[in-house]
Amino acid sequence: MPGSLPCPSGRVTRPGGEAIIAVDEIKRTSGPQTTNAKRWEVQLNVAPPREWMELFKTAGELSRATTPRGVEFGGSSAVFTSAEDHVELWIQAIDRWIASTNARHERSLEQVRRDRSDRLDAEANERERIQQLNERFKDL
């Protein structure tokens, strides 16, 4: 959706070994469909990973008619419950929440990448320092 940032595919590992899955940008690919005029479903281009869904639930923007916590994910679909009069509001809100979540997810992945790079640099510097110390005192 407009304003979304892409996320490269792959895995990023946080310190401690916890993997964060990076996925392509999440997008809504269908309009709402219903079988009972209460429960509505939209299709997404991919199934969002757990971390993305957790961020989505805290997208922040909500109203009396809509809330990100009211959206359930199953595979590559998102489901919400709404009266017919509020479906358009829900779709607009979901699109904003998806865009916001894509951006926040990308920022969290970038932070993990920076932290990992910093940690690897620090480890390399420490190995070099130890090697220099061993060289310095080898003849004692």
pLDDT in tens, the chain (140 residues): 433 333 344 555 555 555 556 667 999 999 999 999 999 999 999 999 999 999 999 987 667 789 999 999 999 999 999 999 999 999 999 999 999 999 999 998 898 889 899 999 999 999 999 999 999 999 99
Q: How far apart are CA 106 and CA 98, in angstroms?
A: 12
Q: CB-based contacts of 4: which residues, under 8 Å, 6+ apart?
A: 25, 26, 27, 98, 99, 102, 103
Helix (H) or strand (E) holding 121: helix 87-136
What residue ranges do the domains of the chain occupy? 27-113
Question: How far is Cα 59 from Cα 128, in angstroms, rounded to an integer?
Answer: 44
pTM of the model: 0.71
